């Protein structure tokens, strides 16, 4: 069982930091994932993955935070504004540093473009502000280096949830449509998903995250985030005009 920040006494937390001052902070969303998947998929996956990561590392696990930027535009999606998110993530990172953490892994199950860009920027700000701090931010499968795996409500997200919580997957209710704006699917069809594939992907992701945290320096992280910014540059150039909220609205209209 992982060591849970919320359940530890100050003495227990101090002892944990003295052994390995590492915190794992899962980040989720309550977001529309079509008719076949739950609104909380992002947080459920991030939380379960973070449990395993914290156990692997001997790190302290935080409760999942459900405050995202830019979920898919839908009446059931809940979000905070970008300025709220910036203050929230900055405060979480600075608070953990003050508590004693020197390595922080922010594992986000929600990886909309604006959301992850803000996470990367927060990680870089924190490492610049706090001496000796390393901040790792990304989704469970992101370190595998295959952008196709970062789908939405499609084969790979569905596979991950089938591996973790098959009781929450409703493929029999999937509404086939040619339009992502109708069924929320960005990527391969969810009917191609399997628990076996999800388990294999999550195992590989866990191994890669563990190695990443064990071996990367702040300089390595700065290079990594620059590469990730480059991945999203085309989106930024086409859709960003001063607001992530307006950017995702404009981008989503292209999916109709």
Concatenate the DSSP letters of all residues of 88-119 into one string: HHHHHHHHHHHHT-SEEEEEES---HHHHHHH
> What residues have CB less than 8 Å from 10, skipping those under 6 apart?
none
Phi/psi of residue 105, nearest 5 degrees: -110, 115
In this structure, the number of other CB atoms found within 10 A of the CB of residue 48 comes to: 20
Q: Which CATH superfamily is domain 3-143+209-253 in?
A: Creatininase (3.40.50.10310)
Is residue 11 within 8 Å of 90, Cβ to Cβ? no
Mention every residue, 6+ apart, whose C-beta is less than 8 A from residue 201: 141, 144, 149, 156, 159, 160
Least trusted range by pLDDT, from 77-91, 170-184, 221-235: 170-184
- Identify which of 183, 201, 195 has the alpha carbon closest to the alpha carbon of residue 145: 201
pLDDT > 70 fraction of the chain, expressed in percent and rounded: 100
**Domain range summary for the chain, segments of one domain joined by +:** 3-143+209-253
Q: pTM for this one?
A: 0.96
The rounded distance, in Å, linking the Cα atoms of 10 and 171 is: 45
Report, as an integer, the average pLDDT of 115-129: 98
Split at pLDDT 50, 70, 90, the class of 256 is confident
pLDDT given for residue 179 in this prediction: 86
Q: Is the pLDDT of residue 65 over 90?
A: yes
51/45 Cα distance (integer angstroms): 10
177 pLDDT band, cuts 50/70/90, is confident
Exposed/middle/buried for residue 35 (C-beta within 10 Å: 0-12, 13-18, 19+) = middle
Which residue from 65, 62, 70, 53 is spatially nearest to 89, judged by alpha carbons? 65
Once rounded to an integer, what is the mean pLDDT over residues 168-189?
91
Q: Kindly tell me if the per-residue pLDDT of 178 is higher than 80.
A: no
Q: With 90 as the cut, is the pLDDT of residue 227 above it?
A: yes
Helices then strands, each counted (H, E), the chain: 9, 5
Using CA atoms, how far residue 86 sits from 28, 36, 69, 234, 251, in Å, is: 15, 31, 9, 22, 22
Mean pLDDT score, 37-49: 98
E strands, the chain, in order: 3-4, 22-27, 60-61, 103-108, 134-138
What pLDDT digit, counting tens, does each position of 135-160 carry? 999 999 999 999 999 999 999 999 99
> Does the structure show a pLDDT above 90 at 118?
yes
- Token pair listed for 129: 């502000």
59 CB contacts (<8 Å, ≥6 apart)? 2, 3, 20, 22, 23, 24, 53, 103, 105
More confident residue, 177 or 17: 17
Report helix, strand or coil for 67.
coil
């Amino acid at each position: 069982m992982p060591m849970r920040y919320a359940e530890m006494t100050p003495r227990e937390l101090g002892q944990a930091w003295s052994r390995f001052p590492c915190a794992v902070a899962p980040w989720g969303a309550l977001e529309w994932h079509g008719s076949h998947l739950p609104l909380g998929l992002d947080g459920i996956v991030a939380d379960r993955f973070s449990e395993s990561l914290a156990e692997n590392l001997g790190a302290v696990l935080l409760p999942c935070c459900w405050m995202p930027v830019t979920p898919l535009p839908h009446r059931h999606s809940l979000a905070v504004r970008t300025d709220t998110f910036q203050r929230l993530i900055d405060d979480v990172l600075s608070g953990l540093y003050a508590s004693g953490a020197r390595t922080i892994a922010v594992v986000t199950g929600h990886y909309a473009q604006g959301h992850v860009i803000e996470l990367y920027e927060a990680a870089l700000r924190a490492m610049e502000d706090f001496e000796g701090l390393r901040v790792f931010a990304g989704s469970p499968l992101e370190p595998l280096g295959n952008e196709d795996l970062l789908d939405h409500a499609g084969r790979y997200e569905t596979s991950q949830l089938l591996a973790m919580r098959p009781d929450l997957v409703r493929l029999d209710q999937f509404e086939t449509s040619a339009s992502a704006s109708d069924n929320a699917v960005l990527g391969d069809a969810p009917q191609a998903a399997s628990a076996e594939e999800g388990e294999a992907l999550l195992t590989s992701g866990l191994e890669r995250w563990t190695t990443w945290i064990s071996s990367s320096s702040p300089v390595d992280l700065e290079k990594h985030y620059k590469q990730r910014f480059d991945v999203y540059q085309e989106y930024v150039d086409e859709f960003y005009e001063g607001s992530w909220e307006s950017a995702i609205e404009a981008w989503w209209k292209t999916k109709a």
